[in-house]
Amino acid sequence: MEFALVAQTLDILEKTPSKIQQASTLAMLFKKCDPSSIDKVIYFIQGTLWPDWKGMPELGIAEKGIQKAISIALNIPENEVEKLYKSLGDYGLVVERLKISRERKSAGLTAFIKSEKIAEKKLTVDEVYSTLAKIASLQGEGSRDIKIRLLASLLSSANAKEAKFIVRFVEGRLRLGVGDATIMDGLAIAFGTSRDIVERAYNIYPDLGAIAKMLAGQGPQALRNIKPIPGIPLRPMLAERASDPSEILAKAGTPCLAEFKYDGERAQIHKKGKTVWIFSRRLEDITSQYPDVVDAVLKHVKADETIIEGEIVAVDPETGDYRPFQELMHRKRKKDIHEAVKEYPVIVRLFDCLYVDGVDLTLKPLSERREWLKKIVEESEEFRLAEHIVVKDVKELEEFFLKAIESGMEGLVVKSLGPDSVYQAGVRGWLWIKYKRDYKSEMIDTVDLVVVGAFHGKGKRAGSYGALLAAAYDPDTGTFKTVCKVGSGFTDEDLAALPKMFEQYKLSYKHPSVDSDIEADVWFEPRIVMEVIGAELTLSPIHTCCKGWVKPGVGISIRFPRFVRWRPDKSPTEATTTKEIYEIYMKQLKKVTIPSEKPESY
């Protein structure tokens, strides 16, 4: 398959704001894809070479390396490339413009013959992918120069449009505004199947390239047969949030299960024989950070093959008291993990079971999944089920909530025990409801917001950022809508670290997925999530979150926002949604009973 077709499609997508039109455009491309290469096309559109959970190396070419590769490919001085980049702010546009300029300058018979020779050899999808994969695989001394020359060779063979998107891919900024949801829509249209079937398959087997390959080669029926596989993470089930015990019980139904909500790292633990994998809620393989948990799994889990879920919680090595989530970050930074195990010991508290020895439990009710969990786990103080009770009324729920708070927990997770309480992989719904102590604060609720921009600091904050522009996620449009500017709550150390922390995500333009009426001093790719608390939610004429939902032309903002902590365990799309912001605002006013569906003005 010629790569030119992919590049042409990406060019159309870049100019197409409508998600419906983007899905239709992708469907046309997918129909033309060969089953043997459609996975590579999907990965390229996603801006990756393989799913993140595979833990494969990244390309590892920085901006200066891209600049040098363009210089070599086009045989022009590097300072000319740099000069043009300062003007355009996009290496993709730089290489495209230089390529077009060269083509236009070509004249005479010699140039014609040369262009004809170039035209004879077309770049293929497989060739582009294999070259990029080879670049990523190169490690060690001298690899940088080889990477740059391989990229230069690829750019030399590419036409202007192909080169633009190859460079953007390497840079990690395709600028398409196309997310996984739109790709799934395109696949459903292309292969005449239900979007729900595609999404269910993706939630169980989070590899859109592999899903597309199954569809193209075997048809939709292949997706119906997908089951959990140890070693391949499932997308985690997510919880809604509420602060009124009566509302929680009304939505969850009674009796329901109430579990302690630990301030730890959510872990999806896979076991196959003597092999154990541990995946984070973002599907990152974090097995190497927890060798002690691996040992505990091999010791306490009796099933040969299983997938279970729980929370890894840091504890004080002397007192056994719970430590905050941030303590677990030392496990990521420590080179000598065995020292970290001693300094930052952990316990595991389990809450779900998704698969046991060939049996898919994701479509079984929670009560049955928990019976399996109890059956396969030999509990100990360090490795056991999360503390829980079955509640039937508000009094029991409130008493258990207070017990959780007194024990140092964040609050509770209340779960339905009804016949429909299946494991909804990748879905946020009312089968699970978070009931946290933060909901008792001034704003009733903390929220998780995505940093999309920043403002330069003044006075003591000169040289750093004085405030960060934060946004909520709108899953229906795939955009991030601004809620507030956060400038308080940071320690001096936090402030000093901000420029370095955000350097790799810094942009010279507003990201296509960011919806903001405010002009930030600096824009960021929406990647980092932070937890924020405030005095109250209020209407705002300058923020775009829930704009027009309560009053025409007016959004919802947080008054006196304060930074609480970073949330590296959450991806941008797992941040607080615009609908949740709306619900918190309306509850604060006590104006309406919150509907399960979006407001009509949505």
Q: What is the pLDDT of residue 113?
A: 53
Cα–Cα distance list, 91 to 12, 65, 149, 167 (Å):
19, 11, 17, 7
Nearest to 536 by CA among 473, 587, 595: 587
54-58, 73-77, 299-303, 435-439 — which is least confidently predicted? 435-439
pTM beyond cutoff 0.85:
no
CA-nearest of 305, 250, 248 to 274 is 305
Q: State the pLDDT at residue 195.
A: 94
Lowest mean pLDDT among 31-45, 307-321, 369-383, 414-428: 307-321
Residue 457 pLDDT: 87
Confidence of residue 440 (pLDDT cuts 50, 70, 90): very low
For residue 46, give the amino acid letter: Q
pLDDT tens digit sequence for 241-280: 888 899 999 999 999 999 999 989 999 999 999 999 999 9
Angle at 487 between CA 534 and CA 586, to 5 degrees: 25
**Whole-number average pLDDT of the chain:** 89
- Decide if pLDDT at 492 tops 80: yes
pLDDT at residue 418 in the model: 95
- Predicted confidence at residue 334, as pLDDT, reads 60
pLDDT digits (tens, 9 = 90+) for 347-374: 999 999 999 999 999 999 999 999 999 9
Is the pLDDT assigned to residue 38 strictly greater than 60? yes
Report whether pLDDT(596) > 60. no
Which pLDDT value is given to residue 453? 97
Cα distances from 300 to residues 75, 295, 380, 587, in angstroms, run 62, 9, 8, 44
User: Does 592 have pLDDT greater than 60?
Assistant: no
Taking alpha carbons only, the member of 166, 7, 142, 137 closest to residue 60 is: 137
Instruction: Compute the average pLDDT of residues 380-400.
Output: 95
Determine the Cα–Cα distance for residues 362 and 370; give it in Å rounded to an integer: 12
Highest mean pLDDT among 33-37, 92-96, 242-246, 274-278: 274-278
* Domain 447-589 indexed as CATH 2.40.50.140: yes
CA distance 354 to 369: 7
Residue 328 has pLDDT above 50, yes or no: yes
- Note the pLDDT of residue 554: 86
Output the CA–CA distances (angstroms, integers) from residue 350 to 239, 253, 382, 407, in the order listed. Answer: 16, 23, 11, 17
Q: What is the pLDDT of residue 105?
A: 67
Which pLDDT score, from 0 to 100, does residue 444 have? 65
Strand-pair category, 305-314 with 265-272? antiparallel
Per-residue confidence (pLDDT) for residue 243, from 0 to 100: 83
**What average pLDDT does the segment 465-480 reach?**
94
Please report, for the chain, the start and end positions of each structural domain, with discontinuous segments joined by +: 48-171, 238-439, 447-589
Q: Are strands 275-279 and 529-533 parallel, antiparallel or unpaired?
A: unpaired
- 17 — pLDDT class (breaks 50, 70, 90): confident
pLDDT exceeds 80 at position 469: yes
Q: What is the pLDDT of residue 410?
A: 81
CB neighbours of 281 closer than 8 A, spacing ≥ 6? 236, 265, 266, 268, 569, 570, 574
For residues 307-311, give the mean pLDDT: 98
What confidence category does residue 537 fall into, taking pLDDT thresholds of 50, 70 and 90?
confident
Band of residue 106 on the pLDDT scale cut at 50, 70, 90:
low
Q: What is the rounded average pLDDT of the residues 208-214?
A: 96
Percentage of the chain with pLDDT > 90?
70
Cis preceding-peptide flag for 255 (omega within 30 of 0): yes
Beta bridge partners of 455: 467
Determine the pLDDT at residue 352.
98
CB 278 within 8 A of CB 287: yes
Predicted pLDDT of residue 437: 58
Q: Does 591 have pLDDT greater than 50? A: no
48-171: which CATH architecture?
Orthogonal Bundle (1.10)
Q: Which residue has the tokens 């497989």?
A: 126
Q: Beta 465-474 vs 506-507: how paired, if at all?
A: unpaired
Q: Which of 41-50, 169-178, 381-390, 480-489 has the lowest mean pLDDT?
A: 169-178
Query: What count of residues does the chain have?
Result: 602
Find, among 141, 142, 171, the residue nearest to 155 by Cα: 171
- Both tokens of 370, joined, read 């928990």
Q: Greatest CA span in the chain, whole angstroms?
A: 89
In DSSP terms, which residues pair with 534 in a beta bridge? Answer: none
Q: Read off the pLDDT band of 109 (50, 70, 90).
A: very low
Separation of alpha carbons 544 and 26, rounded Å: 29
Q: Does domain 238-439 have CATH number 3.30.470.30?
A: yes
- Residue 207 contacts residue 201 (beta carbons within 8 Å): no
Q: Residue 589 pLDDT more than 80?
A: no
pLDDT at 51: 92
Give the model confidence (pLDDT) of 142-161 as tens digits.
899 999 999 999 999 999 99
CA angle 21, 575, 511 (to 5 degrees): 50
The more confidently predicted of residues 500 and 407 is 500
* SS3 of 287-312: HHHCHHHHHHHHHHECCCEEEEEEEE
- Residues acting as catalytic residues: 261
Report how far residue 51's alpha carbon sits from residue 44's, in angstroms, rounded to the nearest whole number.
11
**At residue 2, does pLDDT exceed 50?**
yes
Rounded Cα–Cα distance for residues 572 and 568 (Å): 10
